[in-house]
Amino acid sequence: MKINGKLVLVTGASSGMGEGIAKAMAKAGGRLILLARNQAELDRVAGTITAMGGEAQAFSVDLKDADAVAKVAERITSQLGTPDIIVNNAGAGKWRFVDETTPAEAVEMMALPYFATFNVTHAFLPAMLKRNSGHIVNISSVASRFVWPGATAYTAARWAVRGFTQALRADLDTTNINVTLYESASVKSPYWEHNPGSAERVPGIGVIIPKLTVEDVGTAVVKGVERNKKLIITPFMTKLIYWNHVFFPWLVQWLLTKTGYKRK
């Protein structure tokens, strides 16, 4: 889908990858709707986009709360219309073993990104279907494809996003609504400070993959939407690992496990 002039909603736009995606979408001519909880940070991002000559409106909402999402979706629809492009990016979750994770934390990790992705899609999909156009991008991670030790509930939530995305694409097969899944390796973003104790659990094999910037993520997502890609895998070294995984899944899995975090 061409982004110029389109209404683009980005969740988790107050920080990191969401901020990078929002700015890249604005550069491509998108009119931005920014969602997250922290109003001050959303206003900062909206201000930067406006200063670049773009358009951005910020809406504070807790995406875990389905009723709050439905209400903010009504406000957005009445004030701005139905988004043409939705990027479900908001996510959180500390990397922990099951025995280090409480059941409440596991529920919290499923809430973001999985239920947030469901809630936002659920709120806007009927209007997109009525109009029979749109593009939904769900941001996940290489953790939705591979597994490594010490990040169990985090990994399960990313597999949920991947399953939801593929099933949604099948649901929308007869429509003009496109669905893209984004999976990348590590990005230099505040994620690692927001989720302490996670960075040290990146498997040793990860050193062969260059770290992305949030600008790289924005560029990849813009390209993915413009080229209507089903899957965005970035950077190139991650693609090589994916291809290896197709032919030698046991080897890739063995390397991730053996170079992974060791239980103390």
62 is a site residue for ligand NAP (CB under 6 A)? yes
Lookup: tokens for 239: 């693609």
The answer to whether 161 touches 138, Cβ cutoff 8 Å, is yes
Of 62 and 215, nearer to ligand NAP (C-beta) is 62
Active-site option among 114, 154, 182, 191: 154
Q: Which one of the spans 98-106, 126-134, 190-198, 243-251 is the region binding ligand NAP (CB under 6 A)?
A: 190-198
Residues in the interface with ligand NAP (CB under 6 A) total: 28
The answer for residues whose C-beta is within 8 angstroms of residue 168's C-beta and 6 or more apart is 121, 136, 179
Return the beta strands (E) in 6-54 as ranges.
7-11, 31-36
Q: Which of 105, 113, 201 is nearest to 157 (CA)?
A: 113
Which residues 159-188 are close enough to bind ligand NAP by CB under 6 A? 184, 186-187
> What distance in Å separates the CA atoms of residue 154 and residue 108, rounded to the nearest whole number?
10
Q: Which is nearer to ligand NAP, 57 or 186 (CB)?
A: 186
Q: Are 134 and 177 in contact (CB under 8 A)?
A: yes
User: Is residue 150 near ligand NAP by the rule CB under 6 A?
Assistant: no
Q: Which residue lies nearer to ligand NAP by CB, 38 or 244?
A: 38
Smallest separation (angstroms) from ligand NAP to the CB of 64: 5
Residue 135 DSSP class: E
Is 242 a catalytic site residue? no
Q: What kind and span of H or E run contains 146? A: none
Find the residue with minimal CB distance to ligand NAP. 91
15/101 with CB nearer ligand NAP: 15
Show the binding pattern over residues 113-142: x = contacts ligand NAP (CB under 6 A), - = does not: x-------------------------x-x-
Q: Which amino acid is at 45?
A: V
Dist. CA 232–CA 118, nearest whole Å = 20
Contact residues for 185 (Cβ-Cβ < 8 A; gap 6+): 141, 142, 206, 209, 211, 212, 235, 237, 238
Per CB under 6 A, does 90 bind ligand NAP?
yes
- Intra-chain end-to-end CA distance of the chain, in Å: 49
Of the candidate residues 112, 151, 233, 255, the single one contacting ligand NAP (CB under 6 A)? 112
Residues numbered 207-246 forming contacts with ligand NAP, rule: CB under 6 A: none
Does residue number 64 form part of the binding site for ligand NAP (CB under 6 A)? yes
Q: Which two tokens stand for residue 191?
A: 């994620």
14 touching ligand NAP, by CB under 6 A: yes
Residue 190 engages ligand NAP in binding (rule: CB under 6 A): yes
Q: What is the DSSP letter of 170?
A: H
Out of 37, 44, 122, 169, the only residue in the binding site for ligand NAP (CB under 6 A) is: 37
| Residues carrying an active site annotation | 154
Contacting residues toward ligand NAP, per CB under 6 A: 12, 14-18, 36-38, 41, 62-64, 89-92, 112-113, 139, 141, 184, 186-187, 189-191, 194
